[in-house]
Each structure stands twice: as C-alpha cells, then as structure tokens.
Amino acid sequence: MVQLLDGKATALQIKEEIANEVRQLTAKGMRPPHLAAVIVGNDGASQTYVANKEKSSHEVGFTSSVYRFSENTTEEELLRSIEFLNNDPDIDGFIVQLPLPKHINEQHVINAISPDKDVDGFTPINIGRMVLGEDSYVPATPMGICTLLKRYNVETAGKHCVVLGRSNIVGTPIANLLSRKGFDCTVTICHSKTKNLAEITRQADILIAAIGKPEFVTADMAKEGAVLVDVGIHRIPDETKKSGYRIIGDVKHNEVDTKCSWVTPVPGGVGPLTIVSLMENTLKAYNRHQK
C-alpha cells in the first residue's frame, strides 16, 4: 500500500516548532528573526514565491521585508543593495529570488551574498561546506526532501537513489546529501544526456524527479515498491478550478503512485517543506548572529 510523505502536515508541524521557539525568544525581550527577500522584475511565479515566503515568515513570528527592483535594474545597483543587506545587523538572512533578468549575471549576484546570511544556501562557500559535510545553510528544497525522509523514517541506508536532474538548487545538492553518512544511499544522477533513462530509473529504490517536465515520469519508469519524491511544480490551465489552473509535478501520479511504497503528492509534498526549510535556515542564522 502506498503511503503519503505529507509535506503539508509536516510543514505545519515544523512551523509550530519554529513559532514556539520564536515566542520563547520574544518573551525574553529579544527581537524576532528577520528574513528579507530581493525580487527583480514582475515575473508572476516569482511574485507568488516571495509572497508565500513573507506569509510563512509572519506565521512563525519572524519579521520580513521585500526589496523590489524594476526589470531594468542594473547589476551594479543590485550588487549595491546586496552589500547593504549584508551589512544590516537587523537582517538575519536574505534571499534573491531567481531567475533574474537576462542582463544580470546570476552567479555574480549570488557570489556577493554574505555566506553568513545566505539562507538559500546558494553561495559557493555554503555549497562547499555542504559537500565537505561542514555546518552550512543547505539549499531549501533538498533540505526539505531530507526532512521528509527523516520524519517519516524512510529507510535509506544502502538504497539505490536515482536523481533525475542535476541543477545547482535541487538535483546536485540532493544527490550529495543522500550519498553522505547518515543517509548512506548509493546515488545515480541522470540528466538530459543520460542514455536508457527508464532502465536506470527502474533500478531506483528511491526516485527523485527534479527534471522540470510535467508528468515526465510514467509507470514503466518506476520500480515496484519505490519511494517517489516529486519535486516538479507546473501550473496548467484548468477551467474547473476557481483559480483557472492546477498544479502538477514531474510525475504522472495517477499511474505511478500505486506501484510505490511512499510518494510525495503534488501539491502538498516537497513545496511546503521548501518554504519551511528556509524558515529553519533563517532561525539558524538568527541564533548564530545572537552568539
């Protein structure tokens, strides 16, 4: 029988834990943690992501701020603001919502973020620390996946984990984290040049789909009893919904789920854990800054 890795319920539980910790801090007269977000341009999905991060910040008792820049902001202007945020003692952590407009070099911007406030865990310093197994801010989506697997006591040691996708924010870090001591998976990373993809995914005890293609993973690609983590988020038009759209993932759930032992639903799986992991990183940054 397939069981749900319920991201929504787990995220609620973790939010409550964070909110309790924040209440204890403020009861002692301390200021709450502060998360800032930088957003450039008017991309609809980015606006939604930033709004959700702000909402979650307030739900756990953090304060938050959003720095909005127009689509034609220059890289220099953006870098100056990052410098400002790096030096503002009232900001514990901040994120720069990606993607940035084409004329801005994303890596230049990420590199300018102080590793100490890089709660998205995207700077080379934090990625390096993560790979070395040192204390770091782990990128939110892979961190959320690890939290789900741990909280549901999913057995990982010695399991073959196949990661579909090798992006810097999902595929590469989750492959690294699951191969490390503690999770002890044997990991295979697949990407757009991988040959005989289905042959490889069928060997997966744990299959992580982070490919960015709607319902790409079909039943013939999954092994009986596999643990299935669907990272994908795609909005597709749906007239039956009030919003006019619904969210689907990288997996064709109606045919794959029944083969699996555990699955993350979409929506309500990895997504809520991503936001909550950002909150956890912000609290961690706050606690470090108080020392």
Please identify which residue in 130, 190, 208, 283 interacts with ligand NAP, judged by CB under 6 A. Answer: 190
Using the rule CB under 6 A, is 194 a contact of ligand NAP? yes
CB under 6 A: which stretch of 84-92, 109-117, 229-237, 255-263 binds ligand NAP? 229-237
CB under 6 A: which stretch of 50-58, 110-118, 187-195, 218-226 binds ligand NAP? 187-195
Query: Following DSSP, what letter does each residue of 161-176 receive, concatenated?
Result: EEEE---TTTHHHHHH
CB of 88 to ligand NAP, least distance (A): 27
**Within its chain, how far is the Cα of 89 from the centroid?**
26
- Catalytic option among 6, 92, 118, 120: 120
Q: Which is nearer to ligand NAP, 250 or 257 (CB)?
A: 250
How many CA atoms lie within 13 Å of 83's alpha carbon, on the beta-carbon side?
7
HEC per residue, 30-49:
CCCCEEEEEEECCCHHHHHH
53: buried, middle or exposed (CB in 10 Å: 19+, 13-18, 0-12)?
buried
CB under 6 A: which stretch of 50-58, 114-122, 177-185, 189-197 binds ligand NAP? 189-197
Using the rule CB under 6 A, is 86 a contact of ligand NAP? no
Decide if 184 is catalytic. Answer: no
CB of 144 to ligand NAP, least distance (A): 7
Decide if 13 is catalytic. Answer: no
Q: Which is nearer to ligand NAP, 215 or 257 (CB)?
A: 215
Please, what is the end-to-end C-alpha distance for the chain in angstroms?
48
Angle in degrees, CA 75, 78, 83, rounded to 5:
125
Interaction pattern, residues 264-283, with ligand NAP; x per rule: CB under 6 A: ------xx--x---------
**Per rule CB under 6 A, count of chain residues that contact ligand NAP:** 26
Cβ neighbours, 10 Å, residue 156 = 18
Using the rule CB under 6 A, is 233 a contact of ligand NAP? yes
Question: Which pair of tokens denotes residue 85?
Answer: 């945020």
Is-cis flag, bond preceding 99, omega within 30? yes
Q: Phi, psi (5° rounding) for residue 119?
A: -75, -10
Q: Which residues contact 136 (CB under 8 A, 6 or more apart)?
A: 121, 125, 126, 127, 129, 130
- Catalytic option among 6, 15, 53, 284: 53
- Find the residue with minimal CB distance to ligand NAP: 167
Please identify which residue in 14, 85, 210, 227 interacts with ligand NAP, judged by CB under 6 A. Answer: 210
Q: Decide if 244 contacts 265 (C-beta within 8 A).
A: no
Using the rule CB under 6 A, is 141 a contact of ligand NAP? yes
Please identify which residue in 28, 102, 181, 193 interacts with ligand NAP, judged by CB under 6 A. Answer: 193
Positions touching ligand NAP (CB under 6 A) are 141, 164-167, 169-171, 190-194, 197, 210-213, 231-234, 250, 270-271, 274
Active site residues: 53, 97, 120
